[in-house]
Chains A and B, each alone.
Chain A
């Protein structure tokens, strides 16, 4: 939020020297990264390389042992997810997480109520709040026609789009997306990430995502970071990363 939103070339998120240890295993051993507004930054690497740990430190689910996370110019290291949400961090999860006992529209309304700090109201009817805003967000992700369906019965790809709409309810400056296309068919994957890319460009949202589908990574990312054993081993444009022999050896194999 604030003056940074939409201003190209200014850094939204900076992480410096992040470390996290679980017992004897150092999951993340000094990772630094930065994302700009409107940028699609992909974080890739082998299973167990520390991507999820990294992500959870940025998203507030885990507190780093060392290092610093800054959002705009504010230090947010170790801040709880709900505080980050109010500072403009939207999040989607690898395993979809929506509110199954509500309709699609109510899911987005709840996100809007939460973001506007209106959850502690005990008397007014919730389903009459922010109807227009909710429908607008659903239209933006192509879910307008399903607004009245229960979220629990949605197809997987539609759930992902609902999650995106909920993440957008807070008017985020940064979107953290953990394996946004896992479990989707190839055609759906490209469509979802093209949608995210459009939103990132249009609103100047910085997007950091992890992904295993190389078509998505090389097709949609502006920049790619490669993590192996808790360290960044390569970063740069998709073309440069794809050509990097170390990346081919530890991660890409025959896929590139």
Chain B
């Protein structure tokens, strides 16, 4: 693999009159796990939504493996290879776990072996017994696993994970971290939005910090952990 999978250049976006992103730029290499850090309202979720086309960027470019996907509609972006796991999980409440996965099914664009429900149940063993359970009747942690598995069924080239640990018990957060590490071993490319530096430091290779819609720090996660000044200044930790 190698090379740049996702290149974000000078991305601007907002809601109505409110500008949230004011020129966000970063690169994501194939096989890399990059974490977007920053306070509430800094623009992490907005970045992810703008990449996914759920929010139309007002300026800037998003190159996915060379093609500029900025301004495309969400379903085309999904087909091009971005897979989004929303913070609120948004599991279909009245579909069973198995049906939830089916909705996400899409053949891989390249020659990779596709994800199947069986492979995903191996990744998330908790789900295997819940196949026929409606999405509304599983716990928050299980819903998070279904949300990730459903997106993986589309065989995305880049996985966008928005705060996968939010509102979950610490033991489930551990499981999420392990799952991300397992995906990384398989060569997945992941963009993670996260508040918790502790969680980020367990899974990420590199970090960028967002502040009021701009990137204020970009570097290896180990460098961030070592840089107490930057942490105090940008993350208050």
Residues of A within 8 A of B (CB): 25, 45-48, 153, 155-157, 179, 182-188, 212, 214, 250-256
Contacts A185-B195, A186-B236, A255-B173; A212 near B167 (Cβ below 8 A): yes
Chain B residues with CB below 8 A from A182, complex form: 166-167
A256 touches B140 (CB 8 A): no
B40 and A45 form a contact (CB under 8 A):
no
List of B residues within 8 angstroms of A46 by Cβ? 139, 141, 169, 171-172
Q: Is the Cβ of B40 less than 8 Å from the Cβ of A252?
A: no
CB distance A186 to B195 under 8 Å? yes
Q: Please count the residue pairs between chain A and chain B whose beta carbons lie under 8 angstroms apart in the complex.
A: 69
Q: Which residues 134-193 of B have a CB within 8 angstroms of A?
A: 137-142, 166-174
In the assembled complex, the CB of A242 is this many whole angstroms from the nearest CB of chain B, namely 11
Contact A155 B40 (CB under 8 A): yes
10 contacts between A and B (CB under 8 A): A46-B172, A47-B142, A47-B167, A153-B18, A156-B40, A183-B40, A212-B168, A212-B169, A253-B171, A254-B174
Q: 1/0 per position for B22-57, CB-CB distance to A under 8 A?
A: 000000000000000001110000000000000000
Write out, one digit per residue, whether chain B residues 181-211 have a CB within 8 A of any chain A CB (1) or not (0).
0000000000000011000000000000000
Name B40's closest neighbour in chain A (CB-CB): A185
Selected from A25, A47, A156, the residue in CB contact (under 8 A) with B172 is: A47
B173 contacts which chain A residues (CB < 8 A)? 253, 255
- Please, how many angstroms separate the alpha-carbon atoms of A253 and B176 in the complex? 12
B237 interface hit (Cβ, 8 Å): yes
Residue of A nearest to B139 (CB): A48
- Contact check, A45 vs B166: say whether CB atoms are below 8 A apart: no
- Taking a contact as CB atoms under 8 Å apart, the answer to whether B169 and A45 are in contact is yes
User: In the complex, what's the smallest C-beta–C-beta distance from A99 to chain B, in angstroms?
Assistant: 20
CA distance A214 to B18 in the complex (A): 34
Within the complex, what minimum Cβ distance (angstroms) separates A161 from chain B?
Answer: 13
Q: Which A residues are in CB contact (< 8 Å) with B139? A: 46-48
Q: Is the CB of B168 within 8 A of A47?
A: yes
Name the B residues within 8 Å of A183 (CB-CB).
40, 166-167
Picked from A25, A251, A254, the residue with its CB within 8 Å of the CB of B169 is: A251
Contact A256 B196 (CB under 8 A): no
Q: Nearest Cβ distance between residue B161 and chain A, in whole angstroms?
A: 16
Cα–Cα, bound, A254→B141 (Å): 16
The answer to whether A252 touches B171 (Cβ under 8 A) is: yes
B171 contact set on A, CB distance < 8 A: 46, 250-253
In the complex, are the beta carbons of A184 and B170 less than 8 A apart?
no
Q: Are A184 and B40 in contact (CB under 8 A)?
A: yes
Known A-B contacts A47-B141, A155-B40; the reply to A253 vs B236 at CB < 8 A is no
Cα–Cα distance between A157 and B141 once the two chains are bound (Å): 24
| With contact pairs A46-B141, A47-B139, A48-B139 given, residues A179 and B40 touching in the complex (Cβ less than 8 Å) | no
Distance between A192 CB and nearest chain B CB, rounded to angstroms = 12
Q: Which of A45, A252, A254 has the most CB of B within 10 A?
A: A254
How far apart sit A252 and B172, CA to CA, in the bound complex (Å)?
9
| Closest A residue, CB atoms, query B199 | A255
Which residue of chain B lies nearest to A22 when distances are taken between CB atoms in the complex? B137
Contact between B169 and A186 (Cβ–Cβ < 8 Å)?
no
Q: B236: which A residues are within 8 A, CB to CB?
A: 185-187
Q: Which residue of A lies closest to B170 (CB)?
A: A255
Chain B residues near A186 (CB, 8 Å)? Answer: 195-196, 235-237
Q: Which of A46, A182, A188 has the most CB of B within 10 A?
A: A46
Asked, given contacts A47-B141, A185-B195, whether A214 binds B39 with beta carbons under 8 Å apart, the answer is no
